[in-house]
Structure 1
Amino acid sequence: MKRILIIAVITMATSALALGQTTDKKAARSSNVEQELIKLDKEWTEANVRGDTATLDRIFADDYTVTNVQGEVLTKAQAIANLKSGVNKTESSTPDDYTLRVYGDTAVMTHRSTTKGQYKGQDASGQHRSIHVFVKRGGRWQVVANQSTRIPQQ
């Protein structure tokens, strides 16, 4: 009886240790994905400021959709065309206050950004809250959806 109890305790302890290691690995993997996506988001921001449509073409999935702060729903082609033509001009943008949730090959990111720029000749400067949906396809992350909302000035 004593022997069975000792074996049971050892088995439970070993299982708990293995479970803890699995959880640690998942947390580390999730943290790596979060850092990778924040880096990708900052590349996206810099590409907008520079007018770098080649980088945006790589970051945006072919089925990308954006709902902008004006409430317009645009495709990847329309969003890139707006940047190329000067309809959308971003002089500066500083993202912060990131929150990420990773669900396997899908991730949802929210953040705040302070932006200076114009859209269709009108001042579009201010603070915005955005939500991005990323999907990992072919071994790389791309954004498939984005929505931004202006934060009212207080």
Structure 2
Amino acid sequence: MATHDTAGEGRMRHSLRLVALVVSMTVGMTAAAQVTDAGAELRALEHRLAEAWVDGDRAWIEGLIADDWSVIDILGNRRTKVDVIGEMFANGDPPIAAMAFDEISVRLFGDLAVVTGRNVATGTDGTTFRLRFTDVFERRDGRWQVVASQGTPIVP
């Protein structure tokens, strides 16, 4: 009859549990770091988008917005990338003197992200508007692109 080294088996099981715990913690920390990095990247993209609208950086805006993007605007109309870019750059630079995004929240779902926040913009005519927005991003070819948006006016 074979004898079992119960003390040795106990140490082995303890060692295996410890290794499994360390591996799971490392995977969890790596996933958390990736989520944090993606969240920071998406927040930075939103802030850069505000700068691009003010600066009239059409090429950058067109690169961020996917060709199949659409937006439900503040009047409830569905508009495409062609519609919005064409209108905003119809007279050269967009008629935006200042724009800022804040209260940004990012929820990640793999290669998709839902970003919500508040947008405060002032037109070149001095008119200020505030809205809550939702942008849906998709990671395509290794970079984030906004694929859908929606804006709701904040009534004072």
| TM exceeding 0.5 | yes
**Displacement of 1:19:** 0.3
Q: Which residue is equivalent to 2:81?
A: 76
Check the 8 A contact 1:51/1:83 in 2, yes or no.
no
The structure 1 residue matched to 2:90, chosen from 85, 89, 101, is: 85
Q: How many residues are matched? A: 149
**How well do the aligned residues superpose, as a CA RMSD in angstroms?**
1.8
- Using a 3 Å threshold, how does the CA distance of structure 1 residues 109 and 72 change in structure 2: closer, same or farther? same
SS in 2 for 1:152: coil
**Displacement of 1:52:** 2.2
CA offsets 1:52-97 (integer angstroms, 9 cap, x no match):
22111111101010111122211000010011125x6322111111
CA distance in 2 between partners of 1:55 and 1:83 (Å): 14
CA distance in 1 between partners of 2:50 and 2:75 (Å): 19
- Using a 3 Å threshold, how does the CA distance of structure 1 residues 18 and 30 change in structure 2: closer, same or farther? same
| Structure-to-structure mapping, 1:106-117, within 5 angstroms | 106-117=112-123
Check the 8 A contact 1:53/1:83 in 2, yes or no.
no
CA distance in 2 between partners of 1:131 and 1:37 (Å): 12
* Structure 2 residue runs without a partner (length 5+): 1-5
* Structure 1 residue runs without a partner (length 5+): none
**Displacement of 1:126:** 2.7
Q: Which residue is equivalent to 2:108?
A: 102
Q: Which residue is equivalent to 2:64?
A: 59
SS in 2 for 1:85: coil
CA distance in 2 between partners of 1:133 and 1:40 (Å): 12
Check the 8 A contact 1:133/1:145 in 2, yes or no.
yes
Q: Which residue is equivalent to 2:31?
A: 26
CA offsets 1:84-131 (integer angstroms, 9 cap, x no match):
125x6322111111111112211111111222227xxx9862321111
Q: Which residue is equivalent to 1:35?
A: 40
Stretch moving more, 122-131 or 62-71: 122-131
